[in-house]
Structure 1
Amino acid sequence: MKYLTLIFILPVVLGEFHVFAPYQEVKAAAQSTALLPCFFTVAESKNGLRFVIIIWKHKGIELIQYMDRIVKENSRTTLLESELQKGNASLVIRNVVFEDEGDYECEVTEAPNSETRRIYLHVTVAPKISLKPPLVVVDQQNSLECRAEGFYPGVVSIEWLRDSQPLSSQSPVQIQNNPDGSFTASNSYTFIPTVSEIGGVFSCLVQHLSLNEGKEENRLHICKPTLTISPRILKKGETKVYCKLDGCLFSKVTMRWLKNGYTFHFLTCEGKRECIISIDVILSIPRKEWEEVSCEADLDGNNKPLIQHATVTLAGVPEKMALGVVLIVVIITVLVVLLPIIIGVVFVPYVCKKFQNLCCFYEEKCCVKKQTWRIKRKRKHSSLTDGANMMNEFGETTEIPTRLQYQTEEGNSHHVRFIETPA
C-alpha cells in the first residue's frame, strides 16, 4: 500500500496527467462485490474535475461514465464518488456473476490528455470437496472417489497421494458442466490396503484458482474396524451385554441388536472413534440358560456391514452345551416340518403298492387290492347288486356301489376276492 501511495503522490508533485492500475488481474468470488482499482492524476489541479471524463468498459461495452460531475451508472456497477476528488476512479461491481469475467478498460480523459488501463477480472467459485467412503478399511477392496463440485472456472487438478507422494496409475479427471455454469469433477481410485499400512495417510489433493494457496488436501486414514460382544457369560445378577465398535474414526455409524433376525434396539454415532450399544439379557436356571443375539454395524460409505453373533449363557452353563441345545431344537423343528411331506410323498404310495391286503386312503384316492369280509350267509357263488351291504371284520357295514362277483370259503371269517364287472 505504501508503494502505491508513493506512485500516486509523485505525479501530483510533478503536476503531470497520468492513469495507472496497480493490478492487471483481480480475482472475485461469485455473488461477492469486486473492486477494480484505477487511479489518475491531473495536470491542472486548480480546475479540479471540471474537465475530467471517466469511462469504464467491459468487452467493449460502456458500463459507467463520469462527466460534468455527473455519474451515469447501472444497477450493479458504480464509482466511489467521494474518492474521485482524490484521483480514485476504481469500479465497484456488486453481486458478481460468471458473465462479469473478462477484460475491463479504465479510460480517463483530461483534454487534451487521455489514457486507458486494462484489468482482467477472474470470477471464481471454490469447489465443495468430498471423499467417499470417509474411511479406508484394510483387507478389503476400497473404491474411493474424490469429488469437487460447483467450482469456477473449469480448470482443476485432482490427484491421489499416499504419505504425501503421488500414486501411480491414476485415472484421468472427469469434468462435467453444471446447468448454472459451474463445473463438477471427480477422480476415482481402487485398491486393497494391507494391515502393514494401518496408520498411513491417504489423501486427495485438489488444485484450483479459488482455493487458499491454490490447493486443498483432504485426508483419509487407513484402519481396521473391530466389532466385539461382551460379556458372553453372565454372572448371577448380571443382565447387560455390550457391543463395541472401534479401530477407526467413524464419520457416521449405525449399530443394532438383533434376535431371530429382528432388530429390537439401534444406536447412531457420528464423528467418534468408539461406539457402544448395550442390551439386557435376562437368564435363569433352568427356565432360560442361554440366548442367541447378533450385533451389526453399518459404516458410512461401506457397503458391507460388520456382523457379530454370540450365545450368551449363565455362568456354569458351558457355551458348547448351549450350542448343542440350539442344534437339537433346529433338528426337531426341521423334522416336524418335513415329516408329513415325506410320509405323503414317499411312504404312503410305497405301502399301497407293497401290501395288497391294505386299503389305504391318501388325498381322497383309494387303493384297494384285497379285503377280508364277514358275511352272514354261506354260498359257493353269489352276487351282490347295486346298493347291497356287506359287513367287514371290524363290524362295519359297507355299501357296494357296483355289481360285484365274489367267492366264499367255509369258516367264520371269509376272504373275498372282488372282481369289478359291468353293471
Structure 2
Amino acid sequence: MQCKVLVYVVLLPLIKHVSSTEIQASPNTNATLPCNVTSPLSMKGDKIDKSLIKVSWINNGSDIASFSQAATQIKDGFSWETRDFIDGDFSLTILRASLGLQGVYKCTVSYNSIMLHSSDVTFSILASPTLSIPQQWVVLETESQFKCHANGFYPPPVSFSWTRDEKVIQPPYNVEGEQTSDGYYTAVGNLNFSPSREDQNVTFGCKVSHFGSYQEMDFQLNITYIPSVRLSVVPSSSSIIPLTLYCDVESFYPEEVSVSWLQNGTVVPELPATEQNPDGTYRTRRYYTLSPEQREQGGKVECTVNQPGVVHPASGSVFLEKLDPQDEPLVLTKSAKASVAMMCISVVLVFLLCFGFSWRRRDEKLKSLSVSGIILPPRVIVGRKGRVSVSIEGRRVDRVQTAWFLNDTPISDTSLTGTSKANFNCLYNTLTTIHLPYGLTLTSPVSEKGPLLPSRDEKGYYKLHTQGPLQLSGGGTQQLISSLTFIPQLSIHKGAVFKCQVSYMGKDKIAVERVSEKFTILSAPEVSEIQLAETPNDSDVISLTVRATHFHPDVITFRWFCQGSELSPVASQASSSPHPNSEGLFSAFSQCKLPRSELEKEGTKVWVSVHHITLKQPVTRETRGFIKKPCVSEIVSSTSSPDQTLTLACEITDFHPPNISVTWLKLRDGEQDDREDEVIEGGEMWGPIQAPDSRLYRATATLKRRTTNHEKKEIGGGVVCRVEHCSLLEPVEKHWRNVDMVAPSIPPSMSVCWSSEGVGVFSLLLKGGHPKVKLLWAAGGSTLSPLVSNETEEIGDDGQRELKSVCALERSTSLPSQNNKQLGRQKNGHAIKTKAAVTDPDAEGIDYIDEKVDGENNIHRDEETKLEVDDDSDKEREEDPGALHINRVNLRRSARENERARLRVCVEITHPALKLPVYRTWTEPYEEIISSA
C-alpha cells in the first residue's frame, strides 16, 4: 500500500494539459497520430504494471480505440503497437487515409485511474492535383480559349498561371473549383489568346500551385492558317462535252484539308493533293469536271475548304454564266445578210482557187485531236482499285494509240492471269491500246470486276480500258476514252503522277501528252480492342490502351470517354509523328488511366473513338468492367486406390471477368525437344466462383487418367495445362512431367588421374535415371570458370543406362604463350587420343602419358619437329572426335609470392527428379601447393 501511494505521488507531476497537433496526409497513405507521455512511466526500483494503464482515442464522440485491463478494441482501418505503451508511446496509425477520416482525434492516458496525458490531434487530407490540357486546333490571329484541368485536389483552392517560353503571360489567380462525387475537387483555368505566326513551335505552359506544391504542364499550339481560294475553268472547245473546273487553295496549314465542291448547295467530296510553299504553308489545285447536263444547268459553283478548328470555312464561288458564257443565236439584218452573201461568194471563189493547195493538208486537218486532262479518282485507297482516264476527240480517233507511264516509267499490263506470256507477248510490252479500223479495238480479256490481284515485283497491278470510238453529233467528230485501272501501293504510287501519250499508229511523233496531278493515297486504320492492365508501380491504377495500325496519312486522333465525360490520355503516339513501317503505313497508340475502384463499379463504361480522314464515321471501341489477369498454379498430381486413377489439378485464382478457357495437351515423349502432340479429352473445371468480399473469381481445372501401362505410355513426356483469358496476350501454360521420372544414381566423389605433365583427368559415372541428366564442369581458384567435357552413354551389364562424363585440364599460373599452345597441341595429339581413354580414366591411354614422358624422355626429337611444322597433322588431330579436349586453368599467385590459389574442380548435376542440383567437388591438397610453389 505504501508503494502504491509513492507511485501516485510521483505520477501526479506528470499530468499534462490538453495540447493540439495538426497532421496532414496524402490519400491512401498511412498517417500516424502522435500521443506521447514525455516523462517515463517507471520508478526506480519499481516495475510498472501494464494492466493499470488505460488509453482511449475518440473522434467526434465515437470510440476509435481503447486499452484497459477489462478489454482492448480498435476499429478497422486503424492500428497501434501496445508493446510501446511501456515506453510512453500511445500513437494511433490511420491505414489508407481518406476524406471520411478527417477530424479531431482526442487521446487520453491514465495510470491506475490517474490522468497522465490528454491531447487533441487534427487530421486532414492534402491531395495534389493532376493536370491535363486537351489538344485543340486554333486559327491564326483569331482569339481562342485554352483550358487547363486540375483534377483530384483537396482542399480548395488552386492557383493557375500561364507562361510563354517560360515568361509569365497571365499572373496567378485562384479558382475554388467544384466538388466531385468522391469528395475531391476539380478546377479549370482559362487562357484567352490570339496566336500569331511567331507562336508556331513555341512552348506554352500551365502552372498550378496548391498549398505550397507546384506543378507545370507544357504544350505547343496547333495553328491553322486560313487559305485563299480561287476558282478557274479549263478551256473547252465545245459546249456539249464535260467542263473541268479547278480550285486553287493557297497559303494554308496544316497539310491535311478537306475540299468540298458544291453546285447549288449540293456537296461533291473531292480528295486533297498538296504541295509545300517556301514559307512552310501548302498549296493545292483541285479539279472537278461538270457533265454536259450540269454545265447546261448553270448557276453558282462553290469551292469550300474545311480545316481543323475553323468554324466558318474559307470558300470561293463563281457563276457558270461568267466562266462559261453560252453562244446566243444571231439575228441578221438585211444589210448583214447581203454582206454574208458577198462573203460566201468570196469564200467559194477562194476555195476553188485554193482547192489544189488544201487537198494536201486535208489529211492533217482530219488528224487534229482534242485531249482532256487526266481525271483522277476521288479517293485513292490502298488495296482498292482506282481508275484514271483521258477523253480524246477528233475525226480519226480510230487510228489513235495511247501509252501510259508512271512518272517516266512505262507501265506494263499485269492483269493477265492463267495465260501464257508467249501467247500475249504484245500485251506485256509498254501498255498500248491499238484501235483498228472499222471501230475494232484490241483489249485485255480480263474483267475489271474480277478479284484483286497481288502485285508482280514492284510493277503493281494495271489494266487498260477503252470506250469508243463514239460518234458525236455534228461534223463527224468521234470520242474515245482511254482509262487505266490500278491497285494503289504506297511504295509505288506515293508522290507519283500518271502520264498519257497520244499518237497515231505508225507514227513516232507524239501528238499530245497529258500529266496528272499528284494524288494522296489513303489507308483506313485497323483499331484493336481496349487492353486493360495494372500499372506496374501502382496496382490501384488501371491503364487502358488502344492501338491503330496500317493507316495513311499519319494524322490520327484518339478521344477517350467514361460515362459521358471526356478523359485526357496520359500517353499517346498520335500527338507526335508516328514512324512508318516497311510498307509506308503508320501505327499509333493511345493510353489513359483510371482508378481500379472506378472500373470495378457496376456498369462503368469506357470507350474510345478513333478519327481519321479515311473514315466517314469514327471507329469506336468500348469495354465494361475490370479485367484482371489470372494467377495459375503449378500442376499437382494424386493417385487414388483401388483403380489407380491419376488426378491432375491446376488452381486458377484472382481473375475477372469469369469467362476462362482451359485445355489439356499431351506432350511427345522426348528429352530435348518436347512438343505438343494432341488435345486430351475429359478435362473438368470447378467454378468459376466469386471469392468472398471480392469481385475476383477462382476456379480449379482437373484431369483424371487411369494409370495403366498403356495410359503411362500414352501421356509419354508429360501433360500441359493451357489457360486462356481475355486479359492475356498469350496463354499461360503449366507443365507436368510423367510420374516415371527417376533420379540417377550419383557416386559420392569423382575419380581423378594426373599425368607427370600436369594434366588431370576427372571422371564421373552416373547410372540409371530418366530423362537424361545434365552436367556442367567448372574449375578455378576463388572463382570458377566453365570447362569443356565429353559424355558417352552406354547400357551396363545390369541393363541400366550408364552416363560417363570425363573432363581434362591443365593448371597454370601464367598466361599461355606460343610454346604452351604448342605443348597443348602435342598433348591433344598424343596424350589422350582414343575413345577408350576418354570414357575410362583407368584405361591404358592415361598410363601412356606417364610412360611417354618418364620412360622415353618425352617425345623423340624427329617426331617433335614433325609436330611443330606439320599443320595439317595438327588439324586432323584437333578434329578427331575421339580426342579429349584439355582445358587450361590459370591460377594466379596470392599476395605471398611463395603460394598460389588452391585448384578446385566442381561438377553440377541437374535432373527434373531432383529438387535441387547435386554438386561433387575436388580440392587440391595443401601439400601439393607447397611442392609446386
Q: Please give the TM-score of this superposition, normalised by the length of structure 2.
A: 0.24
Q: Please give the TM-score of this superposition, normalised by the length of structure 1.
A: 0.49
Bigger strand share:
1
- Structure with more contact order per residue of length (Cα contacts < 8 Å, sep ≥ 6): 1
